[in-house]
Amino acid sequence: MEEALKPTDYYEGFIILGQLNVLPTDFSKKIASMAGFRHVLVHEYVAIDWDEVHRNLQRLSDFHRFGQLVGDWMKGKRLDGKKLNNKV
């Protein structure tokens, strides 16, 4: 894990988690797309699109799944359900 690429932003962080098999690759891409939305909300780069806020709030289950997947990885459970030896 120490030799893993270091992300330059939140989006890339999620993508790298997929590459490291901490998250399924398709899911890492899906949740990474919300990183840009976070920047808009936190830093107010542009006017807030409340319809987009509503659409993203419909995806809160993705955050629950993210927590479960990372928790499983930290407990040493691979994506295929088998055990692995993590050094966190």
Assign 79 a pLDDT band (cuts: 50, 70, 90): confident
Please provide the average confidence, as pLDDT, over all residues in the chain.
Answer: 82
pLDDT of residue 34: 83
Q: Say if residue 1's pLDDT is above 70.
A: no
How high is the pLDDT of residue 58?
87
- The model's pLDDT over 3-35, given as tens digits with 9 standing for 90+, comes to 678 888 889 999 999 998 999 999 999 999 888
Helices (H), 20-79: 25-43, 50-57, 60-74
Buried b (16+ CB within 10 A) or exposed e, 46-65: eeeeeeeeeebeeeeeeeeb
